[in-house]
Structure 1
Amino acid sequence: MPTIHHIFFRAFALLAIVLSFAATPQTATAQTTAFRQAVAEGAARDDVLAEFYRGREFEGIWTGTTGRDRARRNALLAAFAGAGDHGLPAAEYDPNALMARLQAASTPAEKGAMEVEMSRLFLSYARDVQTGILTPRSVVSEIRREVPLRSRLGYLQGFLASTPASYLATLPPNSPEYARLLREKMSLERLLAQGGWGPAVSSGSLAVGASGVAVVALRDRLVAMGYMERSATQIYDATIQEAVQRFQQTHGLAEDGEAGAGTLTEINVPAASRLQQIIVAMERERWMNRPRGERHVWVNLVDFSAAIMDNDRVTFQTRSVIGATGSNRQTPEFSDVMEYMVINPSWYVPRSIVVNEYLPALQSNRNAVSHIEITDSNGRAINRSNVNFSQFNSRTFPYSMRQPPSRGNALGLVKFIFPNQYNIYLHDTPAKSLFGREVRAFSHGCIRLNDPFDFAYALLAAQEDDPEGVFQSHLDTGRETRVNLDEPVPVHLVYRTAFTHTTGQLNFRRDVYDRDSRIWDALANEGVAVRAIGG
Structure 2
Amino acid sequence: MLPLTCIRKPFVYSIAAAAMFAFAQPVQAENTDLKFPAFAQAVAEAALGDSEVAAYYRANGYAPIWTGATEAERARLQALLKAILSASDHGLPVAAYDTTELTRMMRDISSPRAQGEVEVALTHLFLTYAHQIQTGILTPSDIDPGMTRDPHRRDGTEILNAFTAAENPEAFMHSLVPGSDEYARLMHKKFELERLIERGGWGQQVQAGALKPGESGLAVVQLRNRLIAMGYLSRSATITYDAAIQGAVQRFQEDAGLNADGVAGPATIDAINVPMEERLRSVIVAMERERWLSIDRSKRYIWVNLTDFTARVVDAGSITFETRSVVGQNRSDTRTPEFSDVMEHLIINPSWYVPRSISVGEYLPGMIASGGSGSGHLQLIDGAGRVVPRSAVNWEAYTPASFPYDLKQPPSRGNALGLVKFMFPNQHNVYLHDTPTKYLFDHETRAYSHGCIRLQKPFDFAYVLLAAQESDPKTFFQDILVTGRETQVNLVDPVPVHLVYRTAFSDLRGHMSYRADVYGRDAKVWAALEAAGVHLPGYES
How does the TM-score come out when normalised to structure 2? 0.91
Match of 2:21 in 1: none
Aligned-partner SS, 1:112? helix
TM superposition shift of 1:97: 5.9
* Alignment of 1:243 onto 2:273: no
* Alignment of 1:164 onto 2:173: no
Match of 1:4 in 2: none
| 1: CA distance, partners of 2:200 / 2:108 | 40
Contact 2:298 2:317 (C-alpha < 8 Å) held by counterparts = no
Give, as a single letter, the amino acid of the residue that structure 1 aligns with 2:62: F
Match of 2:419 in 1: 413
2:178 aligned to 173, 176, 186, which one?
173
Contact 1:343 1:480 (C-alpha < 8 Å) held by counterparts = yes
Match of 1:54 in 2: 58
| 1: CA distance, partners of 2:106 / 2:258 | 53
Aligned-partner SS, 1:303? coil
What are the equivalent positions in structure 2 for 1:479-498 lying under 5 Å apart?
479-498=485-504
TM superposition shift of 1:63: 2.0
* Alignment of 1:266 onto 2:277: no
* Alignment of 1:35 onto 2:51: no
* Alignment of 1:319 onto 2:345: no
1:426 aligned to 429, 432, 439, which one?
432
- Stretches of structure 1 that go unaligned for 5 or more consecutive residues are 1-25
Match of 1:117 in 2: 121
Match of 1:462 in 2: 468
TM superposition shift of 1:293: 6.3
Contact 2:249 2:263 (C-alpha < 8 Å) held by counterparts = yes
What are the equivalent positions in structure 2 for 1:84-483 lying under 5 Å apart?
84-95=88-99, 98-162=102-166, 163-291=168-296, 294-365=299-370, 366-483=372-489
- Range moving further from structure 2, 391-400 or 80-89: 391-400
| 1: CA distance, partners of 2:174 / 2:350 | 49
TM superposition shift of 1:337: 0.7
TM superposition shift of 1:30: 4.4
| 1: CA distance, partners of 2:102 / 2:213 | 57
Contact 1:252 1:438 (C-alpha < 8 Å) held by counterparts = yes
TM superposition shift of 1:56: 2.7
2:536 aligned to 507, 521, 530, which one?
530
Contact 1:80 1:95 (C-alpha < 8 Å) held by counterparts = no
TM superposition shift of 1:532: 4.5
Match of 2:527 in 1: 521
- Range moving further from structure 2, 478-487 or 284-293: 284-293
TM superposition shift of 1:55: 2.4
| 1: CA distance, partners of 2:229 / 2:28 | 67
Deviation digits for residues 143-171 of structure 1, max 9, x if unmatched? 11122211210111111111111100000
Deviation digits for residues 165-189 of structure 1, max 9, x if unmatched? 1100000111111111111111111
TM superposition shift of 1:110: 2.3
Deviation digits for residues 226-275 of structure 1, max 9, x if unmatched? 11111111111111111111111111111111111111111111111111
Match of 1:506 in 2: 512
| 2: CA distance, partners of 1:100 / 1:465 | 70
User: After TM superposition, where is structure 1 displaced by more than 6 Å over at least 4 residues in a row?
Assistant: none
What are the equivalent positions in structure 2 for 1:1-12 lying under 5 Å apart?
none
Contact 2:102 2:121 (C-alpha < 8 Å) held by counterparts = no
Contact 1:301 1:495 (C-alpha < 8 Å) held by counterparts = yes
Deviation digits for residues 358-412 of structure 1, max 9, x if unmatched? 1101122121111111122222222223323343234321001111111111111
Match of 1:63 in 2: 67
| 2: CA distance, partners of 1:91 / 1:296 | 37
Contact 2:351 2:409 (C-alpha < 8 Å) held by counterparts = yes
Contact 1:78 1:95 (C-alpha < 8 Å) held by counterparts = no
| 1: CA distance, partners of 2:297 / 2:365 | 43
Give, as a single letter, the amino acid of the residue that structure 2 aligns with 1:453: F
Distance 1:368 1:61, change over 3 A: same
| 2: CA distance, partners of 1:394 / 1:137 | 32
| 2: CA distance, partners of 1:266 / 1:320 | 21
| 1: CA distance, partners of 2:105 / 2:516 | 44
TM superposition shift of 1:65: 2.8
Aligned-partner SS, 1:302? coil
Give, as a single letter, the amino acid of the residue that structure 1 aligns with 2:365: P
- Range moving further from structure 2, 374-383 or 182-191: 374-383
TM superposition shift of 1:107: 3.8
TM superposition shift of 1:307: 0.4
Deviation digits for residues 203-234 of structure 1, max 9, x if unmatched? 11111112222111111111111111111111
TM superposition shift of 1:345: 0.9
Q: Percent identity?
A: 53
| 2: CA distance, partners of 1:230 / 1:263 | 21
Deviation digits for residues 418-450 of structure 1, max 9, x if unmatched? 111211111111100000000000011110000
| 2: CA distance, partners of 1:246 / 1:363 | 53
Distance 1:500 1:27, change over 3 A: closer
| 1: CA distance, partners of 2:109 / 2:158 | 28
TM superposition shift of 1:132: 0.6
| 2: CA distance, partners of 1:57 / 1:386 | 76
Match of 2:15 in 1: none
TM superposition shift of 1:57: 2.5
Contact 2:297 2:317 (C-alpha < 8 Å) held by counterparts = no
User: What number of residue pairs does the alignment pair up?
Assistant: 509
CA RMSD of aligned residues (A): 1.8
TM superposition shift of 1:96: 6.0
- Stretches of structure 2 that go unaligned for 5 or more consecutive residues are 1-26
Give, as a single letter, the amino acid of the residue that structure 2 aligns with 1:381: V
Distance 1:472 1:27, change over 3 A: closer
Give, as a single letter, the amino acid of the residue that structure 1 aligns with 2:421: K
How does the TM-score come out when normalised to structure 1? 0.92
Contact 1:298 1:307 (C-alpha < 8 Å) held by counterparts = yes
Contact 1:201 1:264 (C-alpha < 8 Å) held by counterparts = yes
Aligned-partner SS, 2:256? coil
Aligned-partner SS, 2:362? helix
| 2: CA distance, partners of 1:331 / 1:389 | 34
| 1: CA distance, partners of 2:193 / 2:124 | 32
Contact 2:381 2:406 (C-alpha < 8 Å) held by counterparts = yes
Contact 1:418 1:425 (C-alpha < 8 Å) held by counterparts = yes
